[in-house]
Structure 1
Amino acid sequence: MTWKISKEFDFCYGHRVWSQELNKDFSVDGCLKCRHLHGHQGKIVIYLEANQLKNGMVTDFNHLNWFKAFLDDVLDHKFIIDINDPLFATMLPHYANKINLIEFEQGFKIPDLTLIKEEPHYIYEMYEGFVIVDFVPTSENLSAWLLGIAQNKMAHLDIKVSHIEFYETPKSKSIVYA
Structure 2
Amino acid sequence: MKWQISKQFDFCYGHRVWSQKLNTEFSLDNCLMCRHLHGHQGKVLVHMESDKLENGMVTDFKHLNWFKKFLDDTLDHKFIIDINDPLFSTLLPHYSKKENLIDMPENYKVPDLSMVKDDETHIIEMYEGFIIVDFVPTSENLSAWLLKIVQDKMAKLDIKVSHLEYFETPKSRSVVYS
1:122 maps to which residue? 122
1:84 maps to which residue? 84
CA distance change for structure 1 residues 97 and 143 in 2, over 3 Å: closer, same or farther? closer
Q: How many angstroms apart in 2 are the aligned matches of 1:56 and 1:102?
A: 42
Map 1:95-106; keep pairs closer than 5 Å.
95-106=95-106
Instruction: Indicate if the aligned counterparts of 2:6 and 2:46 stay in contact, CA closer than 8 A.
Output: yes
Instruction: Indicate if the aligned counterparts of 2:13 and 2:77 stay in contact, CA closer than 8 A.
Output: yes
Q: How many angstroms apart in 2 are the aligned matches of 1:37 and 1:164?
A: 25
> Structure 1, residues 105-139: CA drift from partner, whole Å, max 9, x if none?
11000000012100000000000000000000000
Q: 1:98: Cα distance to partner?
A: 3.4
Instruction: Indicate if the aligned counterparts of 1:90 and 1:96 stay in contact, CA closer than 8 A.
Output: no
Q: How many angstroms apart in 2 are the aligned matches of 1:91 and 1:83?
A: 11
2:133 maps to which residue? 133
TM-score, with structure 2 as normaliser = 0.99
Map 1:53-72; keep pairs closer than 5 Å.
53-72=53-72
Q: How many angstroms apart in 2 are the aligned matches of 1:140 and 1:112?
A: 28
Q: How many angstroms apart in 2 are the aligned matches of 1:51 and 1:176?
A: 21
* Unpaired segments ≥5 residues, structure 1: none
Q: 1:97: Cα distance to partner?
A: 4.7
Q: Which amino acid aligns with 2:176?
A: V
Q: How many angstroms apart in 2 are the aligned matches of 1:99 and 1:92?
A: 12
What percentage of aligned pairs have identical amino acids?
70
Q: Which amino acid aligns with 2:3?
A: W
Q: Which amino acid aligns with 1:2?
A: K
| Residues matched between the structures, number | 178
CA RMSD of superposed structures (Å): 0.6
TM-score, with structure 1 as normaliser = 0.99
1:153 maps to which residue? 153
1:52 to 2:31 alignment: no
Q: 1:96: Cα distance to partner?
A: 3.2
1:108 maps to which residue? 108
Q: Which amino acid aligns with 2:84?
A: N
* Unpaired segments ≥5 residues, structure 2: none
Q: How many angstroms apart in 2 are the aligned matches of 1:97 and 1:110?
A: 11
Q: How many angstroms apart in 1 are the aligned matches of 2:45 and 2:109?
A: 24
1:21 maps to which residue? 21
Q: Which amino acid aligns with 1:153?
A: K
3-state secondary structure, aligned to 2:27: coil
> Structure 1, residues 42-92: CA drift from partner, whole Å, max 9, x if none?
000000111100000000000000000000000000000000000000000
Q: How many angstroms apart in 2 are the aligned matches of 1:132 and 1:28?
A: 32
2:41 maps to which residue? 41
